[in-house]
Structure 1
């Protein structure tokens, strides 16, 4: 990707996502766009606008962050910073839409809290509204180029004939292998939908079938571990499937420390 948009709120999770973005971009020689969106308002008692004071503090925070990551930035990688007033979701998604060949990289907590932290959060809203792929990075994720990507699918087709083009583009950039984790209703299930199969006809991949009656979260974690996956990928329209896999109550405590970057492809 030529442009990586990386929202920053200066938390540990978002700083780790920045480090991950730097590692990716160093490999492909693109531009990282660090963006912080903020809101201010006039106080009723003092009738002063806090905008300038807030922005001055944020300038300082952004400067500290740049000092931290500058030693890791290799020649050919550019980093641009933005402080923009407005809704975080609107600022982030609009910026991504205006840039060619873009990817949003943002921080998140572990998969054990995925429903809590994605549903109802800024990260969730970005994932739901973005027209470009979103890569959510947990704090535990190692800094490495993804080489094994698992695409989790159910029996439903993608909405468009080119829905998986963004994923295929990333696979080619990363030099990554694709592994399909396919949820089926019964052993007589016909398999991958023809539209999905058509989109992947020129992409080598391995295929793993899983019956939907099983504990999906546990099964998926076991599969990710077995192939030493680097990234889990899902298609955004599969909301029900997404919730089945990651509802916090379905994830066993012993699996809670297993975490993977999550790539969400818009359909």
Structure 2
């Protein structure tokens, strides 16, 4: 983890995520890139059918200048030895972030679960979920003001599938950076059923295969995976959930949904999502 992206709408919540990112970057010896997306209302010309009108250059410059002024206030609010870069873009929020991630070599996103103002939908609802679903790098969603030191127990729900080397490597790096205990969780459902002996064997083999350290293995039965995960987090007083997401889109997403997104809707803990390749 060397380059952390923090998208911001300048809300209190997004500033809290920046504070968390700076703490994380300090521990990881990383850089922080703050990104504000300048989104102007889309104008349309209808003389020859509906045609988009390019954004007015003066309005873009005005919005960018206003953003830079807020950046200066934020820089004073969060003095840090960590190198923090402030950036603006004019683009669609999701596609613009993907371009920025690629161009700047970002390897982690830290963002707020909540926002306010004109870009509130950026942080809550479908857009935040889409970022977690399509992002090529892990996304850490923060619910409000969370101190890095408060994260001591990470819950990792998994189907224990093989060939998760990259995911587990990043997860172990996160665990070491947070000095946290890892709780591997297998949820037994009517759709994906296994008995307790089989589950114990699979969990033990999974931990051995990936040389896990400072961990527990756990097996719970529940009708729905997302509800089982949330109940377990509350049971052990977990501080963070780390989950893989398949990054489904289109019809596949409508039919299958996303367990990670369901959990994101219902918990008030930091959640780290990693899109399976």
User: Normalized against structure 2, the TM-score is what?
Assistant: 0.74
Task: Using the TM superposition, give the Cα deviation of residue 145 of structure 1 relative to its aligned residue in structure 2, in angstroms.
Answer: 5.9
Is the Cα contact below 8 Å between 1:187 and 1:211 reproduced in 2?
no
Alignment of 1:11-160 (within 5 A): 11-40=11-40, 48-49=56-57, 50-70=59-79, 73=80, 75=81, 77-100=82-105, 102-109=107-114, 120-121=126-127, 123-144=128-149, 146-154=151-159, 157=161, 160=164
In 2 relative to 1, CA 158–35 (structure 1 residues): closer, same or farther, beyond 3 Å? Answer: farther
- Deviations 1:143-162, CA, capped at 9 Å, x for gaps: 4363321101246x266543
Structure 2 residues not aligned, in runs of 5+: 46-54, 116-122, 248-255
Aligned partners of 1:104, 1:152: CA distance in 2, in Å?
Answer: 20
- CA offsets, 1:231-262, max 9 Å, x none? 111101286561695396xx6xxxxxx62100
Structure with the larger helix share: 2
Contact 1:141 1:259 in 2 (8 A): no
Work out the number of aligned pairs and report it: 246
Partner of 2:7: 7
Residues 226, 259 of structure 2: 8 Å contact kept: no
Give the structure 1 partner of residue 51 of structure 2.
none
For CA contacts below 8 A with separation 6 or more, give which structure has more relative contact order. Answer: 1
- Written as runs of structure 1 = structure 2, the 5 A alignment for 1:94-243 is 94-100=99-105, 102-109=107-114, 120-121=126-127, 123-144=128-149, 146-154=151-159, 157=161, 160-185=164-189, 186=193, 188=195, 190-191=198-199, 192=202, 196-197=206-207, 199-213=209-223, 217=227, 219-237=228-246, 240=257, 242=259
User: Residues 63 and 195 (structure 1 numbering): CA distance in 2 closer, same or farther, change over 3 Å?
Assistant: farther
TM-score, with structure 1 as normaliser: 0.77
> Residue 263 in 1 paired to residue 263 in 2?
no
* RMSD value, Cα: 3.4
